[in-house]
Amino acid sequence: MSADTPRRIALLRHAKADWPEVSDHERPLAERGRQEAPAAGLKLAETGIAFDLALCSTAVRTRETWKLAVHELPQRPRTVYEERLYDASLGELIALLNETSDEVCDLLVVGHNPGMHALADALAGRAEGDSLARMARTGFPTAALAVVSFTGSWKSVEHGVGTLLDFWTPKDH
């Protein structure tokens, strides 16, 4: 893979979580979340991207979201459950992307807000259509998905490097 390899990152926020008497990390999906996650999976499939790798937070709600969404994909990417995605800051998320092997062209990240929104916003120096305006207007609700493209090595990922190709929320479904 060369420095001018086109790459895509899909950022998926976990679906709607419930609020039982458990630690934040152990919160499961709510009923609405169990409906949102497969819809997000369908949207991921519609992108036509064959993901090389999925990084998923270790939190229960992100693992449940991924388990329900991945069934909608034509092929399951290699999945790594990454505890550093839980409660990660923007800087920590970019550092994690910088560690990604350049063998990976298309990456899916299943994580949390405010990180997913901050990362999509930070990477998107440009946008196709009204995707950036829609993301600014709606925020990054549960099960929202942003797809960003950039060219180069994962080590070169930084603010403004990409183009926001698509932004989707379950309300668009």
Annotated binding site for substrate: 61
Instruction: Find residue 72's DSSP bridge partners.
Output: none
Q: What are phi and psi of 34, to 5 degrees?
A: -70, -20
Instruction: Find residue 29's DSSP bridge partners.
Output: 17
Residue with token string 């997000």: 40
Instruction: Give binding residues as ranges.
Output: 61
* Max Cα distance, the chain (Å): 49
Question: What are 110's two structure tokens?
Answer: 């299943």
Q: Pairing between strand 145-151 and 124-127?
A: unpaired
